[in-house]
Amino acid sequence: MTRVTELEPGQASAAPATDLPSVMALSSLAYIAAVFLHEICGHGFACVLLGIRLTELGSFYVASDHNGVSELQLRMVAAAGPAMSAMTGLVAWAVLRFVPVRQHHARYFCWLLGCISLLAAAGYLLFSGITGIGDLGTTEDGALYQLRPTWLWRAGIAVVGGVCYFGIALVSVRKLDGILGGGTERFRRARRLAFTSYLTGGVVSVLIGLLNPHGLFIVFMSAAASSFGGTSGLIWMTRMLDRHRPSPATAGLLLPRSWPWIVTAILVTAAYTLILGRTIYL
């Protein structure tokens, strides 16, 4: 447990402790949790509930037997992933409100999981609207397949996705500002934290995705798209941070070296990579 110390008036600009390996560990865990919940608990569990036989469980996709499956069931399975991401984000932020103030690493993890999950959910609307593919796309495996007129549906979900994405980024940065602290250094620190998490999550996702048996298509269209693309708001949203807000009296979010989080991240990442990275065939 990290002790929050009061700053003297002359120390208001002191930057709180931030350990890079610990932030990377938290980020890796958050990204893996987000994609696991989206794919396995979203798409996968929807298949189970609808009586659809699963054939493959991968780190960034699930596959099923479509024989005897109605188009409505397929659409429900496709929509289940983004719906689970949205639910994950809302639950993570709800939990954040009850995490003790002194549990700094847990607070950042909850904030990050909520942020990237909600950004991904809105990102699917935007991505599918622009390209027509993906979970909410109008192609044969998309949730909006055969809805007419196609161009209107695509334009509509693209606009909704763009508005939601910006709104989620705005709320995310305000929530981060609420727990960040750090005096006059908090703007630079917010940028470092967000960029470190974005880069860590994207690199870890792509490296895990490279192990899939279906080649680079899964890497580009799922692993890279959902991480580097879907959570790209982390790069620019900290510009919306209120730089004129009075500096807090406490040191704020302290993220010193935490071996329990680092070891957990190593074990979880290794397990996810070895088990789902190469795909489970059912």
**Residue 3 domain-assigned?**
no
pLDDT at residue 14 is higher than 70: no
Give whole-number Cα distances, 82 to 34, 51, 181, in Å: 11, 20, 32
Tokens of 110: 């909850």
pLDDT at 9: 39
Average pLDDT over residues 5-11: 39
CA–chain centroid gap for 199, Å, is 12
- How many other C-beta atoms can be found within 10 angstroms of the C-beta atom of residue 264? 15
**Residue 254 domain-assigned?**
yes
Strand 280-281 and strand 62-64: the pairing is unpaired
**Residue 200 domain-assigned?**
yes
**Residue 8 domain-assigned?**
no
Contact 168, 136 (CB under 8 A): no
**Residue 135 domain-assigned?**
yes
pTM given for the model:
0.91
Q: Sorting pLDDT into bands at 50, 70 and 90, what band is 6?
A: very low
Q: Sorting pLDDT into bands at 50, 70 and 90, what band is 146?
A: confident
Q: Number of structural domains, the chain?
A: 1
Tokens of 186: 């908090």
**Residue 100 domain-assigned?**
yes
Contact 67, 137 (CB under 8 A): no
pLDDT at residue 15 is higher than 60: no
Contact 243, 187 (CB under 8 A): yes
- Alpha carbon distance 192, 212 (integer Å): 31
**Residue 41 domain-assigned?**
yes
Q: Which range marks the domain in which residue 75 is found?
A: 16-281
Residue 113: exposure state from Cβ atoms within 10 A (0-12, 13-18, ≥19): buried
**Residue 49 domain-assigned?**
yes
Q: Sorting pLDDT into bands at 50, 70 and 90, what band is 2?
A: very low
pLDDT at 248: 55
- Alpha carbon distance 105, 153 (integer Å): 41
Model pLDDT for residues 45-98, shown as the tens digit of each residue: 999 999 999 999 999 999 999 898 999 999 999 999 999 999 999 999 999 999
Q: Sorting pLDDT into bands at 50, 70 and 90, what band is 10?
A: very low
- Alpha carbon distance 52, 230 (integer Å): 28
pLDDT at 153: 92
Contact 112, 69 (CB under 8 A): no
Model pLDDT for residues 163-208, shown as the tens digit of each residue: 999 999 999 999 998 888 766 678 888 999 999 999 999 999 999 9
